[in-house]
């Protein structure tokens, strides 16, 4: 092979323009690391007039023609969304080109078919930037940790929600106020649904679980709850027991009598302030991995933004370019374990519950009986009195999530319970 490796860039938004800047500004360095010069063949955008900084001869609105051009070797897809990204990726594979993508929604939706198409074509599909921005986590799962048995991944993989929850903890603000501040400062999008309702984190959880457990997991398999129902009371109650509230993406291998399964969920939860994830503040991301031989590992860094995300894209680009040089794709993704996905109702969790109750004989016994009726064991109970009223704070042991939520429904119906003021799952408490 002679001449430079040519890269087609699909999309030139925040991430694409940062990728282009580095590709053009550090072409010599990147070429030296690859072992062959690298250059941009073209940049596909919807509205060329919106990109005055991109040399006009590189711009095109015909992305399909660009990815299938004979002189293009590698494709970087940073358009996002399902279509046309999926069709363009498939066209790239069919034309024998490796793809680097930052597209979590597409990979979480259709990762199995895309990997199959890449494998059939004998090319690479890498997407480090799709999960936790700059943080190297997918390659560690695909390569460094592939000899180990992973039991659990717990991630803070959405910076917007982590910023909001961090501000709620720092200021005592409610969700609405903290969201307004995040929007004002540019940490939340004008339409924050994907972040706040956990869709973004669920897509990332699906990708993490698929790689960690060698099992196809799609976004539809992930139990998802967002943070809009987290109240200032929840955050205050967490602080009272030495915890903080985080939106967690939890991927775990759950042993069972009829074989192991995987449980993948995204929801707010209290974690002890001593847990390494508790100190991940603001818009930062972190992924905590538990593996049989390696033990506990934590990966921390910037989960969003043009430059940090471009770092991950360019790392993948160098990797797939090197493979192109050797003439063989790198290690693919395996789904051989094909473990069943355990429904949330059957997934073991722990709850922290705060109740306003009448302070009279028999109330605590009646409340405890509701837990017992649903076969939920109580770990701790704390009561504070206020005249004829009291607050009961209960932390359970682990039980199937359905049993815990049925207990809460029953408590809401009890005459002695004046209000269920806070319900959150807890993770990592001993």
Active-site positions read 204
d(CA 10, CA 234): 43
In this chain, which of 98, 160, 166, 215 binds ligand HSE, going by CB under 6 A? 160
For strands 243-254 and 150-156, give the pairing: antiparallel
d(CA 43, CA 242): 51
14 annotated to a ligand binding site: yes
| Segment interacting with ligand HSE, rule: CB under 6 A, options 47-55, 152-160, 172-180, 334-342 | 152-160
60 annotated to a ligand binding site: no
Q: Where are the beta strands (DSSP E) in 303-343?
A: 340-341
Compare residues 160 and 391 and give the one whose CB is closer to ligand HSE: 160
Total number of residues binding ligand HSE (CB under 6 A)?
A: 7
In this chain, which of 11, 155, 159, 329 binds ligand HSE, going by CB under 6 A? 159
Helix (H, G, I), strand (E, B) or coil at 253: strand
The CB-of-207 to ligand HSE minimum distance in angstroms stands at 11
The CB-of-171 to ligand HSE minimum distance in angstroms stands at 20
Decide: residue 190, CB within 10 A, 0-12 exposed, 13-18 middle, 19+ buried: exposed
231 annotated to a ligand binding site: no
| Segment interacting with ligand HSE, rule: CB under 6 A, options 156-164, 230-238, 319-327, 343-351 | 156-164
d(CA 6, CA 39): 5
In this chain, which of 303, 329, 400, 428 binds ligand HSE, going by CB under 6 A? 303
Q: In terms of Cα–Cα distance, which of 292, 246, 289 is closest to 269?
A: 246
What would the DSSP string read from start to end of 131-183?
Answer: TTTT---HHIIIIITTTS-EEEEEEE--HHHHHHHHHHHHH---HHHHHHHHH
Does residue 103 interact with ligand HSE by CB under 6 A? no
Compare residues 80 and 329 and give the one whose CB is closer to ligand HSE: 80
Q: In terms of Cα–Cα distance, which of 303, 107, 306 is closest to 195?
A: 303
In DSSP terms, 76 is beta-bridged to 9, 100
- Binding residues among 192-211 for ligand HSE as defined by CB under 6 A: 195, 200
Helix H or strand E encompassing 315: helix 306-326
Compare residues 159 and 301 and give the one whose CB is closer to ligand HSE: 159
306 annotated to a ligand binding site: no
The CB-of-85 to ligand HSE minimum distance in angstroms stands at 15
* CB-based contacts of 281, cutoff 8 Å, min separation 6: 162, 166
In DSSP terms, 375 is beta-bridged to none
| Segment interacting with ligand HSE, rule: CB under 6 A, options 79-87, 154-162, 313-321, 324-332 | 154-162
The CB-of-304 to ligand HSE minimum distance in angstroms stands at 4
Q: Please count the other Cβ atoms lying within 10 Å of the Cβ belonging to residue 429.
A: 17
The CB-of-183 to ligand HSE minimum distance in angstroms stands at 12
Compare residues 200 and 401 and give the one whose CB is closer to ligand HSE: 200
In this chain, which of 158, 166, 215, 407 binds ligand HSE, going by CB under 6 A? 158
Does residue 304 interact with ligand HSE by CB under 6 A? yes
d(CA 311, CA 317): 10
| Segment interacting with ligand HSE, rule: CB under 6 A, options 41-49, 54-62, 155-163, 364-372 | 155-163
Residues that bind ligand HSE (CB under 6 A): 158-160, 195, 200, 303-304
User: Residues forming the annotated binding site for L-homoserine?
Assistant: 189
* Binding site per annotation, positions for NADPH: 104
């Amino acid at each position: 092979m002679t001449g430079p490796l040519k890269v087609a860039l699909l999309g030139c938004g925040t991430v694409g323009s940062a990728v282009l800047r580095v590709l053009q500004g550090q072409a010599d360095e990147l070429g030296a690391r690859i072992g062959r010069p690298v250059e941009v063949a073209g940049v596909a955008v919807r509205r060329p007039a919106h990109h005055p900084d991109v040399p006009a001869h590189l711009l095109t609105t015909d992305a399909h023609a660009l990815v299938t051009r004979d002189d293009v070797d590698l494709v970087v897809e940073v358009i996002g969304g399902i279509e046309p990204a999926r069709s363009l990726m498939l066209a790239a594979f069919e034309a024998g080109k490796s793809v680097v993508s930052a597209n979590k929604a597409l990979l979480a939706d259709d990762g199995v078919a895309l990997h199959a198409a890449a494998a059939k074509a004998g090319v690479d599909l890498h997407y480090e930037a799709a999960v936790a921005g700059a943080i190297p986590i997918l390659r560690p799962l695909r390569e460094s940790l592939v000899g180990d048995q992973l039991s659990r991944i717990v991630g803070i993989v959405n910076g917007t929600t982590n910023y909001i929850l961090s501000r709620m903890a720092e200021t005592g603000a409610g969700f609405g106020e903290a969201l307004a501040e995040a929007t004002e400062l540019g940490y939340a999008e004008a339409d924050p649904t994907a972040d706040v309702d956990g869709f973004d984190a669920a897509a990332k959880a699906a990708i993490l679980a698929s790689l960690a457990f060698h099992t196809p997991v799609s976004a539809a398999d992930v139990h998802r709850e967002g943070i809009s129902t987290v109240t200032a009371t929840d955050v205050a109650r967490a602080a009272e027991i030495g915890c903080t509230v985080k939106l967690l993406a939890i991927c775990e291998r759950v042993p069972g009598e009829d074989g192991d399964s995987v449980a993948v969920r995204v929801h707010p939860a209290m974690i002890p302030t001593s847990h390494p994830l508790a100190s991940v503040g603001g818009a930062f991301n972190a992924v905590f991995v538990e593996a049989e031989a390696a033990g506990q590992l934590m990966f921390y860094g910037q989960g969003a933004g043009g430059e940090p995300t471009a770092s991950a894209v360019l790392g993948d680009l160098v990797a797939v370019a090197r493979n192109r040089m050797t003439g063989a794709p790198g290690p693919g993704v395996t789904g051989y374990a094909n473990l069943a996905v355990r429904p949330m109702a059957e997934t073991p969790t722990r709850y922290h519950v705060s109740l306003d109750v009448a302070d009279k004989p028999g109330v605590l016994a009646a409340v405890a009986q509701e837990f017992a009726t649903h076969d939920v064991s109580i770990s701790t109970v704390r009561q504070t009195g206020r005249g004829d009223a009291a607050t009961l704070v209960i932390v359970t042991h682990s039980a199937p999530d359905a049993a815990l939520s049925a207990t809460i429904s029953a408590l809401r119906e009890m005459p002695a319970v004046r209000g269920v003021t806070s319900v959150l799952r807890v993770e990592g408490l001993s």
